[in-house]
Structure 1
Amino acid sequence: MAYGEWVDEKRVVEVLRDLVQIPSVNPDFTGGNGEREISDYIKQFFDRLHIPYIVQLVEKNRENVIGILEGASEKHLLLEAHMDTVQVKGMTIDPFDGKIADGRLFGRGSCDTKSSLAAMLSAVESIKKKEAIPPVSVHLAAVVDEETTYKGVSFLADDIFHGKLRYDTAIIGEPTNLDIIVAHKGVIRFCVEIQGQAAHTSSPEKGVNAIENMALVIQHLKKLIVHKRGQLNHPLAGGPTLSITMIEGGVAPNTVPDSCKITIDRRTIPGEDAQEVWEEIKYSLKTIENDNPCLKLIVYEPFVIDYSMESSPGDPFVTGLLKSVAKYKPNSRITGAPYCSDASKLTRVGVPAVVFGPGNINQAHTKDEWVDLQQVFDSTKILIDTIMEFKVD
């Protein structure tokens, strides 16, 4: 059956434009207003369709909304996308206008990831309006806080872990260019501080220069990751990486700095344990300290740990989704990604998940963020096809 004919493309554009025109910058960013307005919009969306929904209060004024489309079997499919966006500072377009030009819709979140959310909402709306009963029950979860600390999906995963919700598989909406991501990296972020001794720069030998000593640490870290990449490589997600993302130190131009701190972003691949990675780096840095009596360092506990993810590319659901995608994008791939997503929190509680959606990741967070509308239409049709042809054993 041609389920794609159920899609009203004008309506898809309307939903996406509505979402983009509602500011939902994560409150952890400067000027962030949070997701409250967009969660209200989604509740009203479900109310109009007489679709029941669950509200999960993650924290004050921040709630997940999970719409429930009942199916004919005991199987449950989760569609999940986040509502928050990154900051708008530095954008060269009106971030909340939703301008359409040359087959593209512009605005903050248009690509990451309100286009995925719009496709999911439109797919569920199309099925509901057709009064069709899908073979699988569908839960559409719009969650908070993906762009910083994953509080929304973590709350959802906790309910799954404790048996309050159950899913047989999940599609996580992110801009994948309509490819299917079955593996991606994780990340661990932490700080390292060098403690030195202040002195006047006219007599630098009387002090211990923390910034210069930090250079030894950075060189060591770069050698360490080169060695690690020579040992580890995932066929889909690639090798581990390490980046020094922030550095601070010094108090005046004529004072030997007595402190220097760096922030480290270490990307892990499937098979690596984040805590073990941190402990390995900590131990390795302590060997530098032992070899250099003047070097005193502190390796801080991680302030962010996000896990890598891997699902089976041969899973019947994955191959079925690929079959649906191929109708609209014949060269679509089952592949991996170097970034993190909500999917890893779900796979850790036993829900097989893939990452899939319209848009190119290269457009996410950009100064003129946009999404190709044809991909949003195709994604909506693919989701309907996948839902209505879900295989029930």
Structure 2
Amino acid sequence: MLPETPVTPGSPASDPARLLARLISIDSVNPDLVPGGAGESVIADFCGAWLAARGFEIHRLEKRPGRPSLVAIARGTGGGQSLMLNGHLDTVGLTDYDGDPLDPQIRDGRMYGRGTFDMKAGIAAMMVAAARTTAHGPLRGDVILACVADEEYSSSGTEEVLEAFTADAAIVTEPSHLDVTLAHKGFAWFDVDIEGRAAHGSRPDLGVDAIAKTGHLLVALENLGARLAQGPAHPLLGTGTVHASVIHGGEEPSTYPAHCRTTLERRTVPGEDADSVERELAAMLDHLTATVPDFRYRLTRGLHREPFEADPDAAIVRTLTRHAEQALGHPPVVRAEPYWTDCALLDRAGIPCLLFGVDGEGAHAATEYVDLASLDRLTDILTATIADFCS
């Protein structure tokens, strides 16, 4: 293996890798995922100062103290379309990372560190691209950068941004391997509480084992997943899925458990939503109530996010695809992602959008890296797209 090359700090507007190295060195772990995590304050301060020095109008949104999102605007002269570039500042935790997650290292054309792939590379690319396009004067339309908090948990950052800002189109710079991503799945979380009856372990005549009853639920979930896999498929995303995520039940070895809670996740495709999933789960549970003795349940809806599907003929899709083809030398792959992104919130707010980002690997993993050639290409493609769309 080649020796590691430390990254020289700095943040010139012409070099996204140097800017990325600065971003990686700033701890921005989401505290909703990791209690005590640093949050986004320091990295938002850095991005705000970097962009203000390049003439951007800075808006700091902080409805949740210590969880700021940043909106930076290069105002246009008028008559052009506005474009928002959206990326999240937060990362997942650092403790399971193999090496120093905040010390960016370059090996074999890759930069390693927590957030290199997911998704500080996208933040660096959109900041440098916006600075390049506005360095010699304003475009006709506004260029808006939304550097948001909390995407890794509940996306409160983008929700707060959309309360005050809009645009004619948007690009989310989540990693996509330089593929044009036009759809992704949604999700819905539910708690299923199975009620038993507590009794001494020697008295099966008095007790109802909530954990054993939950076994029927788990089998039913597995069967539901198999039916979904055989059902109608979305052309890009395939079918929805379901799985049990967390189970809590029981008090002690000598007592029949009176309660068992299962948290489950249902991944959704366009045409499905939390309401339809709740009806689906209730029907499954009602069948168990009718067929399994002493089966009693309570179904509670938790966090849910809608799936996303872009219009392939939208102006921003056609513009970015054209510039991607010119930069790559071939038409970009068009695909969908199984995970959720803030695209769904932008789309719901009436902003046509798509997802386009770097190549690399290791989101949420022990080793994470970005391919630096893809970072340069992404920056070039975003620069051309901004200049074209906003002028």
* TM-score in terms of structure 2 length: 0.91
Task: Tell me the alpha carbon deviations over residues 277-299 of structure 1, each in whole angstroms, 9 at most, x when there is no partner.
Answer: 11331233122113223111111
Residue 107 of structure 2: aligned partner: 101
Measure the CA separation in 2 of the matches of 1:205 and 1:179. 61
Whether contact under 8 Å (1:201, 1:255) holds in the other structure is yes
Structure 1 SS opposite 2:116: coil
The answer for the alignment partner of 2:362 in structure 1 is 363
Structure 2 residue 32 is matched with structure 1 residue 33: no
CA offsets 1:108-153 (integer angstroms, 9 cap, x no match): 1111110000000111122233x04434321011011101111011
Q: Secondary structure at the match of 1:127?
A: helix
Match of 2:7 in 1: none
| Letter of the structure 1 residue corresponding to residue 41 of structure 2 | R
Match of 2:28 among 24, 29, 37: 24
Q: How does 1:242-261 map to 2 (within 5 A)?
A: 242-261=242-261
Structure 1 residue 257, shift from structure 2 partner: 2.1
Deviation per residue, 1:41-62 (Å, 9 max, x gap): 0110122112212222231122
CA deviation vs aligned residue, 1:142-168 (integer Å, no higher than 9, x gap):
011101111011112223xxxxx3311
Question: Could you tell me which residue of structure 2 aligns to residue 44 of structure 1?
Answer: 49
Q: Aligned pair 1:125/2:137, yes or no?
A: no
Contact 2:83–2:390 (CA under 8 A) maintained in structure 1: no
* Letter in structure 2 aligned against 1:227: R
Map 1:270-289 → 2, pairs under 5 A: 270-289=270-289
The within-5 A match list for 1:5-20 is 11-20=15-24
Tell me how far apart the structure 1 counterparts of residues 27 and 276 of structure 2 sit (CA, whole Å).
39
Equivalent position of 1:115 in the other structure: 121
- Conserved in 1, the CA contact under 8 Å of 2:180 and 2:334? yes
Aligned alpha-carbon RMSD (Å): 2.0
Is the Cα–Cα contact under 8 Å of residues 191 and 264 in structure 2 kept in the other structure? yes
SS at match of 1:111: helix
**What residue is the counterpart of 1:328 in the other structure?**
327
- Residues 10-69 of structure 1, C-alpha deviation per residue, up to 9 Å, x if partnerless? 721111011110000011122311100001001101221122122222311222211112
Q: CA deviation at 1:9?
A: 8.9
What amino acid sits opposite 2:174 in the alignment? E
Cα distance in 2, alignment partners of residues 176 and 354 from structure 1:
11
Identity %: 33
Q: Residues 202-351 of structure 1: matches in 2 within 5 Å?
A: 202-300=202-300, 302-329=301-328, 330=330, 332-351=332-351
Q: Is the 8 A contact 1:58 1:151 kept in 2?
A: no
Query: May I ask how many residue pairs the two structures share in their alignment?
Result: 378
Deviation of 1:87 after TM superposition, in Å, equals 1.0
C-alpha distance in 1, partners of 2:274/2:390?
A: 35
Separation in 2, partners of 1:53, 1:213: 55
Q: 2:372: which partner in 1?
A: 373
| Structure 2, unpaired ranges of 5+ | 1-10
SS in 1 for 2:96: coil
TM-score by length of 1: 0.91
Distance across 2 between alignment mates of 1:41 and 1:113:
16
